[in-house]
Amino acid sequence: MVEKIAILDFGSQYTHLIARRMRELRVHAIVHPYNIKANEISDSKGIVLSGGPQSVYEEDAPFPDPGIFDLKVPILGICYGLQVVGKIFGGRVVSSKVREYGKMEFHVEDDPLFSGISPTTIVWMSHGDRLTELPPDFKSIGRTRNSEFAAIRSGNIYGLQFHPEVTHTAEGKKILENFLYSICEVRGDWKPSSFVDIAKEEIASKCIGGHTVLAYSGGVDSTVCSIIAKEVLGGNFTPVFVDTGFMREGEVEEIKNGSKELGLGVRVLNAKSRFLKTLEGVIDPEKKRLIIGREFASVFEEEATGLNAKYLIQGTLYPDRIESVSDVGPSHTIKTHHNVGALPEDLRLELAEPLKDFFKDEVREIARFLKIPKKFYKRHPFPGPGLAVRILGEVTEERLEVLKKVDHIYIKTLKELGLYDLIWQAFAVFIPVKTVGVMGDKRTYGNLIGLRAVDSKDGMTADWHHFKKENLNLIVRRILNEVKGVNRVVYDVSSKPPSTIEWE
């Protein structure tokens, strides 16, 4: 039997990131609702209590089944999970006067959990509450400048105020490895090929006895889904690409040619005027995403009727779901993704999402396993609503044309400089603000463009990419010289969190 770790989801944006870190460490971790009954996870080698947006002192704060502490298996509380442990066992949690968000220095004490960890290391904090009084029989095993009890322990029950699962915690993976192998004493029997097996099982179990349409975008997610669906369903599925008019310059032809190269037989639907019309006068980004998502669903339902299809496959990833809303824990909506929260409740097609628990880098790993050419899986992530959510405010044909030209120059220059594959995601944003400039001794009143480039592993956290000055200068100079109507460019130096990667 494969060993399992149970992760109880209290609504953190990072819950599934804990699971994927454990998969990287060859351990099968399963995410459960926070209130699952203890007897249902009694065969687990250990339990993790995730972070969450609530405060333990609130009236409706979520708490786990107390019976989990009677299972006598190791327990690790992370962020809100530490506060849950502190509250249940008699400690005191209060709203902190000094909130901790971002990187902090963490000073460790001698403990098996921190074996091989530097005495002072960098951790990633994201909390506004803190433990001010230890519960009886607990001791502090780590602190930061603002949190005396940033890590606590009693027997095999641990709590960490920081997030070891994010890459910005310098030695977080080692801490999780210590918890798994030293505290929980697992063997480590999870295999990379399990990713493909899970995706195949999702398709095979959902798409039974009818034709299937697949939402194809040309990106790595839908490409991987298409290759797997073709293997599982044979000729009983049709990948469909909807040209909304919100794609990048030359991208539609690239997608057509790429799908032919992969032998996928993608159907291409031209719906440009239809989508642009639905967004007339729409400014709010959430409304944009909802409108586009529902229009997508409508298009696929119409196409499915002609093909007599019953099922729809989407390449939804875990970050899409957790930013829209968690289907396990009580998380907050960050933004609605067109293929998640924007789908109508009365969708006439049954939905299959074979990649829904995976992250972008894991999907790329699947692509490599399936021997999909590098040019397909190294493409930067691109939002389903396309450039419509990279134009702040109303989407118009004029703004689309400007943004397409800017984006083309930006990405082309990154490739020429050999930077494209080194950056996790790069894109341009049209900002509906006019600024004064001077060109050729004449006053201009032109458009403002924002540039974004981030370094990340999975999209759950990200840092802005530190360009060399001369490279950034080249990109900006080309945009200003080659795109009529643009006279100012700014570069986004925000990390995620507190910002998201996309602007809308």
Six-digit token string for 29: 């971790």
Q: Helix, strand, coil shares of the chain as percentages rounded to 5?
A: 35, 25, 40
Residue 498 preceded by cis peptide, ω within 30: yes
Q: What are phi and psi of 92, to 5 degrees?
A: -125, 125
DSSP code string of 357-420: T--HHHHHHHHHHTT--HHHHTSPP--TTGGGGSB-S---HHHHHHHHHHHHHHHHHHHHTT-G
Q: Is 356 helix (H, G, I), strand (E, B) or coil?
A: coil
CA 147 to chain centroid, in Å, comes to 28
Q: How many CB atoms lie within 10 A of CB 467?
A: 18
- Using alpha carbons, list the distances in angstroms from residue 248 to 5, 252, 477: 42, 8, 21
Are 298 and 342 contacting, i.e. CB atoms less than 8 angstroms apart?
Answer: no
Distance in angstroms (rounded) separating the CA atoms of residues 368 and 445: 48
Distance in angstroms (rounded) separating the CA atoms of residues 172 and 192: 21
Active site residues per annotation:
79, 163, 165
CA dihedral 191, 193, 195, 198 (to 10 degrees): -100
Are 178 and 151 contacting, i.e. CB atoms less than 8 angstroms apart?
Answer: no
Q: Is 277 helix (H, G, I), strand (E, B) or coil?
A: helix
Are 403 and 391 contacting, i.e. CB atoms less than 8 angstroms apart?
Answer: yes
Distance in angstroms (rounded) separating the CA atoms of residues 436 and 424: 33
Are 460 and 319 contacting, i.e. CB atoms less than 8 angstroms apart?
Answer: yes
DSSP state of 248: P
Residue from 493, 457, 499 nearest 167 by CA:
457
Distance in angstroms (rounded) separating the CA atoms of residues 273 and 243: 10
Facing residues of 442 across strands? 439
- Using alpha carbons, list the distances in angstroms from residue 265 to 170, 244, 260: 45, 19, 6
Distance in angstroms (rounded) separating the CA atoms of residues 424 and 339: 22
Q: Is 126 helix (H, G, I), strand (E, B) or coil?
A: strand
Q: Is 96 helix (H, G, I), strand (E, B) or coil?
A: strand
